[in-house]
Amino acid sequence: TSIAPIMASEAEQPDWVRTQKRTFTLWVNYHLERNGFAPLEDLTKDLCDGIVLCRLVTSLTSKEFHKLVLRPTMTIQQVENLRKALDVLVEVGVPLVNCGPVEINQGNETIILGLIWRLILHFQVGGRITAKSSDATTTLVESDEEDDELLAEQLEEERRLKEKLSAKARMLAWIRERCYLYDVEVTDFRETFRNGKAFAALVASCSEGFEFKEQVSKPPAELLNDTFEYADSKLGIPQLVRVSDLESNVDEKSLMTYCGMFYDQYSHTRPIRPRRNLHFQLSGLGLQEAVAGRSADFFVLLTEDGDPISSEGRIKCVLKCEDVELSSSLTEMDDQKVQVSYVAPMHEGDLQLELYYDHKCILNTAIEVVPPPPNYTFDIQVSNTVATELLPVKFLIGVCNNGEPCIFPGDIDVECLQDGENLPYTQQEIEGGLHEITLIPTSSTPVVILIRDDDETETRAELSVLPAPIVSLDVLPTRATVGERVHFSFKIESSSASKVSLEDLRVNYSLGKSDQPVEFVLAEDGVTVDCSFVPETSGHGKLRVEYHGVYRDASLVVESPKHSYHVSKSQKRAEVGKSIQLELSIVDSSQNSILVEKAEEYRAVLQSPDGTKTPVEWTLNAAGKLECTISPEQVGTHSLRILQNDQKVYTRKIRVLEAKKQKGKEEATCVESNESDLSGSKLRPPAGKTTDRHGSFSRGETAVVRIHLLNDSVSVKLKLENTFKTLKIDPDSSCADLHDELIKQFVKYMDDVERGWVIRACAKYQLALYQSEERVRALDPTEKPWSLRAAVSSTGTQRLVFEPAPLEHSLGDAAILRAYMLDDYVAQQLSIEHTFKTLKVYPDTTSKELCADLIKQLCKGQEEKLKELISAACADYCLCCFDVDHKKRVRVVKMSEKLWEIREQFAGASATLSLVFQPMPRDYLNFIINYPRSRLTQGQSLIIKVSAKDPKRGNEPVSDLDARGDLLEAVITKPDGSPVYLPAEATTRPGHYEIRWQPEQAGQYSSMIRFNGNNVQSRACVLKVRGRRDSGMHLNVEGVARKRKNRGSMIRYLAKKTDE
């Protein structure tokens, strides 16, 4: 049975309760009667059965109810009817807080009044529900195009305000705008409406038949009665409030309900303006003529029925000159006049004046702009000019006419005085109307510059002159060595106490036609300059120091560095007809190895015993040393001369002996092969001798095979770079056999884990033939490398390379990643813009690893503090695929995605794609996260629902996050601080995802949703998990409940057990 509500009598209720109850009852009856339903008498009693509430919901939402209990006699039937009505309200978006069907059924007056107020806010103030009734009249005033434009602007402004303001503020702004037309100020929904003028202005703005001026002269009570009756009879708006309700404390909600009837019915129409007899009086010289570049003004007086009135900021002045709007100021005087001031433009012509009152044009005329009289002024620009004695100096003179730069007709009469005498000068007109003056001071006294115009106005400036500097060179080194730094110093003595200006100092070292700049710094005394440089070439050169036109020269002899050279042979015995590989090592005087940077600087000449000279070319190996291959054809002592930059630096004697004869071996025959591959081979058998397939080939010969393992995971594992291995090959050995032998050499000293990894990594490797650095072709696994041995061994340009099998791209190429970091902290600190870095990408390199490598490259060479700041700033950076042609991002690269696969996609794409390292985009998707509960029991599952929408496509649901390469996950932090990563799973609904989690232990957890590694929640959600309850306790409680029928005894018993 329901508990009957305890209600106070109407006399004991507060005034605001009685007022709201009466107003809300009239509002409900208005909507019920308009849709053909019977009105109610008591708001709190008639809503208890739910029938009237369902009819009201049907009137407001046009939704029909089915399976209602039309004659509910039981409480459960009444509550069920109320629940159906409330469910529909929740479905349409009405916020219902602490409002349930039981409270309404019990007649809770506060809950019922709150429910009706929410309906008024949602359906009347927040949205329109009023249909066109037969007794309501909506009048649109005929207007011109300007009024239509004004209405469009007002409706657009109202739409923008509606999105930002609350329901109360939105309706108050609408009423204030309409009452403002009738000079009635509305500030709130209480005191402003007491005198009735606000209601009168509101009704007048909605109907033409309401005479506002006649009505406002009446007393407040009479004005309110007439206004309410007119709104009820002519506009069809029922009187929801009484005049007595406005005499004492005004109820804000009742008044908003009544005003909401006007807002609901007339918010989509333009307001009706009052008819006024206004006249404008214009005066002042600024309306006819204005002097260019000078200020002008005029006055505007507004009168109504002959009496001056205040414009109150409604006047607007627009001044245009050649479609360029000029600025103007409006000042209201004490006599109600408005002073309009402006500054005329500098050039001649007509100035267009447009004067508006309440957005209506009241004046459109042209003002003539006359030129001002000429008034030349001169600006002698010598403040930043430093003159030196006996050296030419230049300075500029600018000319202005009435404050604007101009071109002076003819030459300027300038006097340059030094020690009372005129100095000769030259004058030249340059761009921009400036005049350049050039003169030579004869002493260190200041130069006075005078300019006199026709009005005898004098322009004066003073030019400071420094004495001629004296450059004194200290003891300089007369000899130096190439590559060793040279230090020297000199002094610049001057009578002035100022320090030496390094901007005017030039120090260089010249050798022949080439000049080499010299580094210099200023010492603490301000006059001594310390210099140093590293000579690049040897010879007799000259040092020159120049300061303010004064220079000193000194000679310097640069000698070549004294280096030691050593040539090592690949074989101990040099024989005729056999190739010998030589390696050149260079060490300095400190026995430190010197790495050669350019092999073109070195060359060699091999001179045979008969005097024949053969040029030898050097190549640079990976160790930074020079190597070459020679094939001597004569027996005897050969001389190998090594030259650097065409200068002999080393000579080596090489003794060549006759070739040894192989005993017990038959002459070799040649295996069938391509003739081009065997050109230059020394393995052809003697004529007349043949062998079978295996024949008597010399076993044990080695073939040089270079292991090219750069830029992939195998080279990193084996720590190899540009290395080679020498293996023995047989005439019948195939490339597959050589492949297996190479792998055996790799894994010879490895454990089982590393051995298996290397074997799997090298399974796709193959042998290829290279000519210099270009790849000729790949060798077939069944092809025999013996046919290529002669060409590879005799020439240094061909070689066999063990490399990964070529994919669409050659493994080992560097991927160019553009570090796009504009307008952020990293770009400002590193001073970079659209820079890029070339990094090595391995087949198994992920996006996360490359991002870390990029951050290391950015931090390289920076200070420790700046390294920390850059690392923190780049923590949220990621790699994105960008379409260079259309300048847009294609997608975000996953942190676990391998970049080698992306490079293959780039090659097949029609557009130009690039990888960009940039901040992770945070706002290109909108996420709505729903946590069903924040308190759980251990073992209970929690389903977190997340919906993703794309704002660039009209909030279209995004259902292909996995296909796009994006990662949506939840990070659950346990009580001990360890994280748990849970990926999101797509549901059947488009754009909706679910994350399932089941806690294993009790405690306090925190949850954060991340998208591509970035948080999409403003703060973490706290989840509290409690432990499981003891099932035995429940059994005991049930047993006690059966034995103890006394309710109070059972509760005391349970409390005692709980404490225990």
Q: What is the mean pLDDT of residues 1024-1032?
A: 67
Task: Using the predicted structure, report yes or no on whether residue 928 has a pLDDT greater than 70.
Answer: yes
Q: What is the pLDDT of residues 201-213, one digit of tens each?
A: 899 889 888 888 8
d(CA 667, CA 635): 23
Which residue carries 């290395």 as its tokens? 723
d(CA 522, CA 491): 10
Q: What is the mean pLDDT of residues 887-896?
A: 72
Q: In the predicted model, what is the mean pLDDT of the chain?
A: 75
Q: What is the mean pLDDT of residues 376-393?
A: 78
**How does DSSP assign 78-117, residue by residue?**
HHHHHHHHHHHHHHHT---SS--HHHHHTT-HHHHHHHHH
Q: What is the pLDDT of residues 16-51, one digit of tens each?
A: 888 888 888 999 999 888 888 889 888 888 888 888
User: What is the CB neighbour count within 10 angstroms for residue 505?
Assistant: 18
pTM of the model: 0.33
Six-digit token string for 1010: 């991340």
Task: Using the predicted structure, report yes or no on whether residue 760 has a pLDDT greater than 50.
Answer: yes
pLDDT for the residue numbered 140? 31
Between 882 and 93, residue with greater pLDDT? 93
Between 48 and 796, residue with greater pLDDT? 48
Task: Using the predicted structure, report yes or no on whether residue 683 has a pLDDT greater than 50.
Answer: no
Q: How confident is the model at residue 921 (pLDDT cuts 50, 70, 90)?
A: low
Q: What is the pLDDT of residues 279-327, one digit of tens each?
A: 788 888 888 888 887 888 888 888 876 777 777 677 888 888 887 888 8
Q: How confident is the model at residue 709 (pLDDT cuts 50, 70, 90)?
A: very low
Residue among 867, 847, 838, 842 nearest 855 (CA): 867
The values of phi and psi at residue 417, to 5°, are -115, 130
Cα 199 to Cα 141, 228, 379: the distances in Å are 20, 8, 68
Q: What is the pLDDT of residues 261-271, one digit of tens each?
A: 898 888 888 88
Which residue carries 């994006």 as its tokens? 966
Q: What is the pLDDT of residues 109-165, one digit of tens each?
A: 889 989 988 888 888 876 544 333 323 333 333 334 445 555 566 656 655 655 556
Q: What is the pLDDT of residues 772-794, one digit of tens each?
A: 667 788 888 888 877 776 556 55
Q: What is the pLDDT of residues 648-679, one digit of tens each?
A: 777 888 888 877 655 443 333 323 333 333 23
Residue among 779, 752, 751 nearest 765 (CA): 779
Q: What is the mean pLDDT of residues 929-945?
A: 87
pLDDT for the residue numbered 646? 75
User: What is the CB neighbour count within 10 angstroms for residue 134?
Assistant: 6
Length of the chain counted residue by residue = 1060
588-591, long-range: CB < 8 A, 24+ apart: 588/561, 588/562, 588/563, 588/564, 589/562, 589/563, 589/564, 591/564
d(CA 347, CA 603): 75
Q: What is the pLDDT of residues 467-480, one digit of tens each?
A: 776 766 655 677 88
Q: Which residues contact 721 (CB under 8 A, 6 or more apart)?
A: 622, 709, 710, 715
Task: Using the predicted structure, report yes or no on whether residue 565 has a pLDDT greater than 80.
Answer: no
The torsion of the CA quartet 894, 896, 899, 904, rounded to 10 degrees, works out to -80
pLDDT for the residue numbered 994? 92
Q: How confident is the model at residue 696 (pLDDT cuts 50, 70, 90)?
A: very low
Helix pair 167-180, 197-204: axis angle to 10 deg = 80
Q: By percentage, how much of the chain surpasses pLDDT 70?
A: 74
pLDDT for the residue numbered 995? 92
pLDDT for the residue numbered 915? 76
Q: How confident is the model at residue 907 (pLDDT cuts 50, 70, 90)?
A: low
Q: What is the pLDDT of residues 214-252, one digit of tens each?
A: 888 889 889 889 999 998 998 889 988 888 888 878 888
d(CA 482, CA 659): 44
Which range among 21-30, 790-799, 888-897, 974-983 shows the weakest confidence by mean pLDDT? 790-799
Q: What is the mean pLDDT of residues 377-387?
A: 78
d(CA 661, CA 656): 15
